[in-house]
Structure 1
Amino acid sequence: MVMVPKENPDYRPDQEYESRNDRDEWNVVGLVGQVYIRCDETVKAGDLIIADSGIATKAVQPEQCWQVMRITSEYDAQRGYGIALVFIR
């Protein structure tokens, strides 16, 4: 028996390649490690956070597992978010 790759039946060689960074179905996934996230104005370095409508906000309950390591871009009201580096355990 010989195993060979099978071409995807949905493959269209005439279609122009679109980078994964530009595709909606590709997102950053962090299982364990450091991930950059969008945050609101309540988040500071050392805080524990939760997600609220796709933006991180300071957690009220201390059992949350995501901790902000540092703020890499301060909250900007015009953009509606800041950027934080978060450690996920």
Structure 2
Amino acid sequence: MRPAATEDAGAATRRVAFVALMTLLTLGVGSAMLALVDLLRTGGIAIEAVGVAAAAGVIGLLVLAAREAPARTRRDRTP
């Protein structure tokens, strides 16, 4: 039976810092998008297409981050 994998010192702190950073970045991007939409005050299909592209980009970044996270976790563990 394998012993339980132990985490490096400060791993929990790094995770909390990473989540906090991603939260602040998301808040910043959202604020910038709201400011841009308020500035443009346009409607129609063009602005909808920009919104769809932005949403697709965010989902793509989340998928990329989710794929990288397990790979890093596996490398950090000792056999």
Q: TM-score, normalised by structure 2?
A: 0.23
* Higher relative strand content: 1
- Between 1 and 2, higher relative CO (CA 8 Å, sep ≥ 6) is seen in 2
Q: TM-score, normalised by structure 1?
A: 0.22
* Higher relative helix content: 2
